[in-house]
Structure 1
Amino acid sequence: MNIEKYKVSKAIELNNIPTLEKIEDAAKKLKKISKQLSNIQDTMYAEGKYSVLICLQGMDTSGKDSLIREVFKQFNARGVEVHSFKVPTELELKHDFLWRHYIALPAKGKVGVFNRTHYENVLVTRVHPNYIFAENIPEIKSLDDINDAFYHDRMERINAFEKHIVTNGTIVLKFFLHLSKQEQKKRLLRRLNIPAKNWKFSPGDLKERKLWDDYQFCYQDMLNRTSKKEAPWYIIPADDKPSARYILAGILLQEIKKYNFKEPVLSPEIQTQVEEFKAQLNNE
């Protein structure tokens, strides 16, 4: 897989990037990659030097939840932590906008998945700037203060945040699930037409859908300003779920294999006593 074609390494226009890529036997191929990822994670845990942070962003119905389920289902449950960030709580609003994300970062040896991420603070709040007032920022007096410069400053602080955690051993990989408006319509109708899926539907989904163009503008600006060498964005065609899962897993596999994790070896003192320890156990 040529993962470079998905990476945001220069200025992009979302309208020119395909939302559909069909890969034959994607689900079957994903199983093999998931097993490899699981084995690598075991070694990474034993080594204890790195953690992996996977950031997932996308419009409603882009397939984030099912992707997490399918890509990571072969992992040791103790090795993966998934965080879904909803509307900030009262406590979270009493801190800076990155605080709740910082305390959710994966410990060394673990994989953390942010299902919606710190980028909500420059996406949803940019489409709905009145949400910013809940943060009680001293310098914000009116909507006029919540302008492009405000969000671009936030993006720079996010870049600095990610650079900091990368320096400390967190591998940051960010994925935008690029969904077409037509495919979203199909998935929303499916939620309404299938009784077992009704619980997933919210009237708010339709309100947000009317703001599609606003969200696309914000995503494009965010992708162009925050895809960095140390923390790149990848744009995943999301109209076909099995293919999207396989592509993301393939990128993840190639990226983390670069680190060549190694299991620690026994100290020389213990190595010289291995036969003695075996004898003790065999003679019990």
Structure 2
Amino acid sequence: MQNINPEDFRVKAPIDLSKIPTELSMNTSKSDEETALDEIQKKLSLKQDAMYAHNRHAFLICLQGMDTSGKDSLIREVFKEFNPRGVVVHSFKTPNSTELEHDYLWRHYLALPEKGKFAVFNRTHYENVLVTRVHPEYILFENLPGIEKVEDITPQFWENRMEQINNFEKHIAQNGTTILKFYFHMSKEEQRKRLLKRLEQPEDQWKFSTGDLKERELWDDYMKYYEEAINQTSKSYAPWFIIPADDKGIARYIVAKIIWEELQKLTDIKEPELDPKVKDNIQFYKDQLK
């Protein structure tokens, strides 16, 4: 597991998702994967504590992928050692009536991380150029000037939206937020197995939705628009990483290692120094408490 290089997953040039593998041949056991993840979890936890105390940097972790690609379980496993004060998870569902009264990025601005904290977007602002492209009729709910029907949504509309997202990310990156975007690249066959497993295991049946099957029929459309979105928005200040997601254990480790490597680049992070007057009197305070 130590041989995994995070740079191998970074999108630096236009990609073709059909040519990128959805799994890695690691020849590792579940136990090996869990041990490796446990070690990096502990390092992340210590560094996150220091970042929280330092109070200058923030991290925005964006998770995208098809249904069952493992986003929820990854959040649980990768971030479970974090101090709860330092990480907030946001799961963006269909916009509600209040959110639709604002521009599509408004609710994402509200959820951005404070200095010293991590924010995890489970499904993100990219839903606005993914789901809405597969179902362009959803755009009509935004009440945009000049768009009365689906036919009014031109290719330029999507180009503009991609540019707006790039500007949004550049703005927050320039103000101290490290942005890491992960696409969970799962095969259609693996999704079939995971959906079937949900139906076969009573404790997981509540997770199943008939909508999952309807969206599955649109798989090729989603792949096309994911590819376009990734190619147009993977920037040095907000890179995309393509994570092979057929093996959840390996996917979790890769994401954790990428976050760890990016944290290591922030060399100014350190815990604040104790006030000299307090430091000089530590023994006095200890004696008082005893």
TM-score using structure 2 length: 0.94
CA offset at residue 153 of structure 1?
1.0
Specify the SS of the correspondent of 2:112: coil
CA offset at residue 275 of structure 1?
2.6
Answer whether contact 1:14 1:220 (CA < 8 A) is retained. Answer: yes
Answer whether contact 1:22 1:240 (CA < 8 A) is retained. Answer: no
CA offset at residue 264 of structure 1?
1.7
For 1:115 and 1:105, locate their aligned partners in 2 and report how far apart those are by CA, in whole Å.
13
TM-score using structure 1 length: 0.96
Where do 1:33-182 residues align within 5 Å? 33-182=40-189
For 1:215 and 1:205, locate their aligned partners in 2 and report how far apart those are by CA, in whole Å.
13
What's 1:209 paired with? 216
What's 2:272 paired with? 264
- Give 1:174's aligned amino acid: K
Unaligned residue ranges in structure 2 (runs of 5+): none
- Give 1:177's aligned amino acid: F
CA offset at residue 255 of structure 1?
1.1
Q: Does residue 225 in structure 1 map to residue 232 in structure 2? A: yes
Indicate how the Cα distance of structure 1 residues 262 and 143 shifts in structure 2: closer, same or farther if over 3 A, else same.
same
Cα root mean square deviation, aligned: 1.2
Where do 1:27-38 residues align within 5 Å? 27-38=34-45
Q: Does residue 275 in structure 1 map to residue 284 in structure 2? A: no
CA offset at residue 3 of structure 1?
1.4
For 2:106 and 2:263, locate their aligned partners in 1 and report how far apart those are by CA, in whole Å.
26
Indicate how the Cα distance of structure 1 residues 41 and 214 shifts in structure 2: closer, same or farther if over 3 A, else same.
same
Unaligned residue ranges in structure 1 (runs of 5+): none
For 1:138 and 1:79, locate their aligned partners in 2 and report how far apart those are by CA, in whole Å.
40
CA offset at residue 147 of structure 1?
2.8
CA offset at residue 28 of structure 1?
1.3
For 1:273 and 1:206, locate their aligned partners in 2 and report how far apart those are by CA, in whole Å.
62
What's 1:241 paired with? 248
Answer whether contact 1:236 1:247 (CA < 8 A) is retained. Answer: yes
Specify the SS of the correspondent of 2:64: strand
Give deviations 1:20-49, integer Å, cap 9, x for gaps. 114422221001011111111000001000
* Identical amino acids, percent of aligned pairs: 58
What's 1:8 paired with? 11
For 2:264 and 2:22, locate their aligned partners in 1 and report how far apart those are by CA, in whole Å.
27
Specify the SS of the correspondent of 1:141: coil
What's 2:261 paired with? 254
CA offset at residue 280 of structure 1?
4.6
Specify the SS of the correspondent of 2:206: helix
Specify the SS of the correspondent of 1:88: coil
